[in-house]
Amino acid sequence: MATNALELSGIEAFYGDSHVLHAVTFACGPARLLGLLGRNGAGKSTCMNVTVGLLAPRRGDIFVFGHRVTGLPPEQIAARGVALVPQGRRIFKSLTVRENLVVAARAPTDGRPASWTLETVFAMFPRLGERVNHIAAYLSGGEQQMLAIGRALMGNPRVLLMDEPSEGLAPQIVHEVMNTIRKLKESGLSIVLVEQNPTLVFDVADDIVILNSGRVAVVSTPAKLKQENVDLRQHLGVF
């Protein structure tokens, strides 16, 4: 069996006393796109925080291409080739567009030449190239999202985590972002895409994991879910 790009195994995580992840186990294969779905508070972002090292799990393990990264500090997990496009974008607001990208630059972990540089990021997002010396705080929401994606790519990651990249964006921009994600997947990147909106994810995902109240409720593929006509509202609906 090929090594998984990212594997969470039996993760138990807490915020203070509140138990937010219960034995969460799932894996994203190399060059595959895993859609991680669930309603608000289901634990999707907590999975992201645990994976990048911002929250230490109380039990369980995380593997990146077979290497155990559980409990490593965030900067060392980044060095193993994990990058995050965080919820709410969290770009460095007082830095310029160029600085936001440059501070995250890193050579690929496996010694290949860097495929993501300022030039290639600007080629993918020409609008960022036009605003290279602008302060990031003054970019539009869509531009900030592109910057957050560009910043993650500058680390030349092997696993890309994207936490609700469509949040708060106009439909046209969401469409652009989804096209970008498709291109990144075609380039061979392993991607975990967190979303609340299942229709966006079903278009691009190879695999689907649905979280419900901090537990893995469904592990499947978009095709199977459609074929079985599973009622997603049970897991994703507000009621």
The H or E element that residue 97 is part of is helix 97-102
Give least dist CB 83 to another protein, A.
7
Sign of the torsion formed by the C-alpha atoms of 171, 189, 52 and 26? positive
Size of the site for another protein (CB under 8 A): 26
Q: How far is the CB of 103 from another protein (least distance, A)?
A: 5
Interface with another protein in residues 59-98 (CB under 8 A)? 73-75, 78-79, 83-84, 86, 90, 92-95
Listed residue (178, 183, 195, 5) closest to 87, CA to CA: 195
* Per-residue contact flags (x/-) with another protein for residues 154 to 183, judged by CB under 8 A: xx----------------------------
DSSP of 159-227, one letter per residue? EEEEE-TTTT--HHHHHHHHHHHHHHHHTT-EEEEEES-HHHHHHH-SEEEEEETTEEEEEE-HHHHHH
135 binds another protein (CB under 8 A): no
- Nearest distance from C-beta of residue 104 to another protein, angstroms: 4
Judged by beta carbon, residue 104 or residue 169, the one nearer another protein is 104
- Binders of another protein among residues 96 to 115 (CB under 8 A) are 99-100, 102-104, 106
Question: What mask, x for binding another protein by CB under 8 A, covers residues 38 to 57?
Answer: --------------xxx---
Distance, CA of 136 to CA of 66 (rounded, Å): 36
What's the residue count for the chain? Answer: 239
Angle, CA 163 vertex, CA 216 and CA 15 arms, to 5°: 60
Binding site residues, another protein, CB under 8 A: 52-54, 73-75, 78-79, 83-84, 86, 90, 92-95, 99-100, 102-104, 106, 151-152, 154-155
